[in-house]
Amino acid sequence: MTGTDRQRIDKWLFFARVVKSRSLAAKLASGGNVRVNKDKIDQASHGVKPGDVLTITLDRRILIYKVLAGGTRRGPAEEARMLYEDISPPPPPKDALSRLDTLPRRDAGSGRPTKRERRQVDRLMQGDGERED
């Protein structure tokens, strides 16, 4: 691939080992999960060339790759890393923000009653109806 030639985005994603199969790469591109130079694409046949910046949205990560070259085959990982420069921001440290810290907190006793508390309320309500002093 020379400087002016383009390669299909699905082939490039497959050769760069972003996804496991070319059909998954085509689904990723046509699903709107890939941007080329900040423009959202919706076709697997969209061409990429060296110098393009790809923003790829995967399940729980966002990858930002600068295309350095086009691929000719799906080779080993070292060969695939020669196709791009990873300019993704580093992920946040796992200790800094745990999943439990992001959940809202509720005071004890507030919210829905427990099963035991519901039974106590039912007994209290039934007891009020029987009493006629």
Quick one: 25 and 75 in the same domain? yes
Taking only the tens place, the pLDDT of each residue in 1-29 is: 554 589 999 999 999 999 999 999 999 99
Q: Is the predicted pLDDT of residue 106 greater than 90, yes or no?
A: no
Residue appearing with tokens 């002093």: 133
pLDDT above 70: residue 114: yes
Residue partners of 107: CB distance under 8 A and separation at least 6: none
Q: What is the pLDDT of residue 130?
A: 54
The Cα 94–Cα 121 span in angstroms is 44
Range of the domain at 110: 99-130
Average pLDDT over residues 92-112: 69
pLDDT band (50, 70, 90) for residue 133 = very low
Per residue in 66-77, pLDDT (tens digit) is 999 999 999 999
Assess contact for 73 and 15: CB atoms under 8 A. yes
Task: Identify the band that residue 103 occupies on the pLDDT scale cut at 50, 70 and 90.
Answer: low
Is residue 91 a part of any domain in this protein? no
Is 116 part of a structural domain of the chain? Answer: yes
Q: Is the whole model's pTM more than 0.85, yes or no?
A: no
Domain count for the chain: 2
pLDDT at residue 104 in the model: 72
92 located within any domain: no
- What is the rounded distance in angstroms from the CA atom of residue 84 to the CA atom of residue 48? 12
